[in-house]
Structure 1
Amino acid sequence: MTTGVLASQQIRRMIEDGTLGATPAIDAAQIQPASLDLRLGTTATRVRASFLAGQGNCVADRLAEFKMHEVDLTPGTVLEKGCVYVVPLMEHLHLPEGVQAVCNAKSSTGRLDLLTRVITDDGVEFDRIEPGYDGPLYAEICPRSFSVLVRPGMRLNQIRFRAGQAILDDDALLALHEKETLVSGTAHIDQGLGFSVDLKPTDTDLVGYRAKPHTGVIDMDLIGAYDPAEFWEEIRTTQGRIILDPGAFYILVSREAVHIPPACAAEMAPYLAMVGEFRVHYAGFFDPGFGNVAAGGTGSRGVLEVRCHEAPFVLEHGQTVGRLVYEQMSEVPDQLYGAGIASNYQGQGLKLSKHFKAI
């Protein structure tokens, strides 16, 4: 197998040869250009605290230690804000020794401030699965800003597979930028492609949204159903800066428009902690074709899911807040983001999750 992130057609082959299994069987709609969507199972266990299984332990055994109660998701169940749940996923893995996996929340999940991470038997890290892993997958779910209604089969997480070392170093990334123009404006390359926050949009003083503290439940199946004003406070400024409140959750947007060439994938990584006391993202996979002209894009902004930590923090226009780590694909995918598949965020600017009415 060629080094790189495995593409959609390779994921299909993994399903065919039993490397990827599921009950019920995996649906073709779960397959993305460089990842597979994972589905919630039928039950959720409310636990006292987040946990990792740890070497030599099974998640099922640890659940018995921390279980508070179990709920059936079949009729549709509310996962309450501030609580931690563990849900068995329908998919399971039989990874070969040469392939590792990494998971992340889907874009719509992260934009709801829904912290969800994958855990495994013997796991010592969230969202990281060692080569050769043979066993079940679980989603840990903690709604942070909004209570959510979920059902079996909902897809909150996605999984990406890698063969060997796929990350492009700075020299390779610079060469790719010179060939493909990965970002509008100046490319700041240092362990990835840096991007900054836009707090001076050209035609409006609306720069972002802050989650309201006391809202109703969001049904994760409903698209374009909710009035943003009931859940979000608009953040406006003409000064090119805002002050982040500790504990608050914000949706902002990058100043740069980026694009991901068909032979690459990317992952959003947080910037160095020394630049500020805030977390930059929850969902961070960028598929091949994101913002790409060949896939119907003209460059797309990166939506920033921001949570401030201990102290109020002044965030200023153009401040570097994260970086895109580019990886080579093992093969060019036979489907690209935005080209013939359901891609909600192609060509995006400042945009809430798909559950809200367009503004």
Structure 2
Amino acid sequence: MKSNKVISKGTLCFQDYDRIIKRGLIFSKKEIPYESIQPASLDLRLGETAYKISSSFLAINEKVKKKINKYKIKKINIANGYLFKKNSTYLVELQENLNLNKNIFGRCNPKSSTGRLDIFCRTISDYCEEYEVIKLGYKGKIYLEITSKTFNVVFKTGDKLNQLRLSNFKTNYINDAVLQKINTRTPLVYNKNNKIINPSILNGLKIKADLIGKNKIIAYKAIKNSKTIIFNKINHYKVNEFWKPIKNKNNSIIIKPSEFYILKSKEKINIPINLAAEMVPYDTNIGEFRVHYAGFFDPGFGRDNFGSHAVLEIKTHEVSFAIQHNQSIARLVFEKLAQKPNKLYGSEIKSNYQNQGLALSKHFKIIG
């Protein structure tokens, strides 16, 4: 059944995705689950066909399908599950196909649960010279390149590793002056005692590391050569078999090359219901490390309880890097939604990470 309602201009929200799916602008052989539609994004599902590939690539002047033939090591059916070995690269055809109108464009990002397992994934599409970009009016298949960097992981058709965020005509990014004004009406950050604090705003909202507290666990470091993780098993694995807790000694931590760490923000963050946000994944002005695989923050994040901490997945590049308590380690960039979404992030829709502290991915048994 097609929807005749107008699609909003600007960054799309829940009801817009519902409409464009009903219109066939996003379609799939298998019906797109209603729960895939998030407040300001759409979860994408792995299809049945995957390829182990010899190299990453972009299909700048041709279709991805043609390029696969050049780099394919083998073709794989993942309908019943398949082991993706760490540091090997795979390409999976996603179930969702796009048939966008001429004014709609977008971008993709890994979901939080993907980033927290150190799974490096990025979307590619036909005739596109950038990862994670959905060009204006794109029509065709989309694919997900997957490289698990720390764990061996079993993936299966239907698993959701990444998200799509679309805009119609334009994306209304919020500048610092406007963000300051928004903060006077709707506080963006709280402290651990649920008190409003002044945000640090410069090219977006700065996020700082929480590395204080006597004998407190301030981070987790992934244990190498751990057991295999089955991606669709939730609240299943014992934390101590995969992660080493790091307790505070001097209000700082040294991030070492090739190791993977989970930290959390000092601030508790509140995303206003008419905005969405995206974590900047890497910023050389902040330090020589990569922060946060998972980018999208939906409207309503943190609204249930005076904000929620952001969890930060961190790796260094070439050298060890010392991070101190209260050091800026990431930024949130905000964009205005075209309208208030009918569905907000939080407990009502069973969001996994609302009111989180130093939280590992949903695959691990909850501590405490």
Q: How does 1:1-359 map to 2 (within 5 A)?
A: 1-54=7-60, 56-163=61-168, 164-184=170-190, 185-201=197-213, 204-270=215-281, 272-292=283-303, 296-359=304-367
Runs of 4+ in 1 over 6 A off after TM superposition: none
For residues 2 and 44 of structure 1, the distance between their equivalents in structure 2, rounded to whole angstroms, comes to 35
For residues 271 and 139 of structure 1, the distance between their equivalents in structure 2, rounded to whole angstroms, comes to 20
Aligned with 2:285: secondary structure? Answer: helix
Change (3 A) 1:337 1:159: same
CA deviations over 1:209-252 (Å, ceiling 9, x no partner)? 11111111101111111111111111112311111101111000
For residues 271 and 223 of structure 1, the distance between their equivalents in structure 2, rounded to whole angstroms, comes to 29
CA deviations over 1:243-273 (Å, ceiling 9, x no partner)? 1101111000000011011111111114530
TM-fit CA distance, 1:75: 1.6
Q: What percentage of aligned pairs have identical amino acids? A: 41
For residues 236 and 344 of structure 2, the distance between their equivalents in structure 1, rounded to whole angstroms, comes to 28
TM-fit CA distance, 1:204: 4.4
CA deviations over 1:316-357 (Å, ceiling 9, x no partner)? 111101111111111111011114212010001100000001
Aligned with 2:43: secondary structure? Answer: strand
TM-fit CA distance, 1:305: 0.5
CA deviations over 1:184-205 (Å, ceiling 9, x no partner)? 222111111111110004x642
Aligned with 1:178: secondary structure? Answer: helix
For residues 116 and 298 of structure 1, the distance between their equivalents in structure 2, rounded to whole angstroms, comes to 32
The 8 Å contact of residues 271 and 320 in structure 1, kept in 2 or not, is answered as no
Aligned length: 354
For residues 131 and 320 of structure 1, the distance between their equivalents in structure 2, rounded to whole angstroms, comes to 34
Which 5+ residue runs of structure 2 have no aligned equivalent? 1-6, 191-196
CA deviations over 1:289-320 (Å, ceiling 9, x no partner)? 0001xxx3320000000011101111111110
CA deviations over 1:109-158 (Å, ceiling 9, x no partner)? 11000111111001111111111111101010000010111110111111
For residues 128 and 146 of structure 2, the distance between their equivalents in structure 1, rounded to whole angstroms, comes to 17
For residues 159 and 137 of structure 2, the distance between their equivalents in structure 1, rounded to whole angstroms, comes to 27
The 8 Å contact of residues 281 and 295 in structure 2, kept in 1 or not, is answered as no
For residues 2 and 335 of structure 1, the distance between their equivalents in structure 2, rounded to whole angstroms, comes to 16
Q: Which moved more, 1:152-161 or 1:266-275?
A: 266-275
Specify the code of the residue in structure 2 equivalent to 1:255: K
CA deviations over 1:59-108 (Å, ceiling 9, x no partner)? 11111000001111012111110000000000011112222111111111
CA RMSD of aligned residues (A): 1.2
Specify the code of the residue in structure 2 equivalent to 1:183: V
* TM-score, length of structure 1 as denominator length: 0.96
For residues 350 and 107 of structure 2, the distance between their equivalents in structure 1, rounded to whole angstroms, comes to 22
For residues 215 and 174 of structure 2, the distance between their equivalents in structure 1, rounded to whole angstroms, comes to 37
For residues 115 and 240 of structure 1, the distance between their equivalents in structure 2, rounded to whole angstroms, comes to 29
The 8 Å contact of residues 8 and 16 in structure 2, kept in 1 or not, is answered as no
* TM-score, length of structure 2 as denominator length: 0.94
For residues 323 and 125 of structure 2, the distance between their equivalents in structure 1, rounded to whole angstroms, comes to 37
Specify the code of the residue in structure 1 equivalent to 2:362: K
For residues 187 and 340 of structure 1, the distance between their equivalents in structure 2, rounded to whole angstroms, comes to 27
Q: Which moved more, 1:149-158 or 1:162-171?
A: 162-171
Which 5+ residue runs of structure 1 have no aligned equivalent? none
For residues 44 and 164 of structure 2, the distance between their equivalents in structure 1, rounded to whole angstroms, comes to 7
For residues 286 and 339 of structure 2, the distance between their equivalents in structure 1, rounded to whole angstroms, comes to 36
Aligned with 2:349: secondary structure? Answer: coil
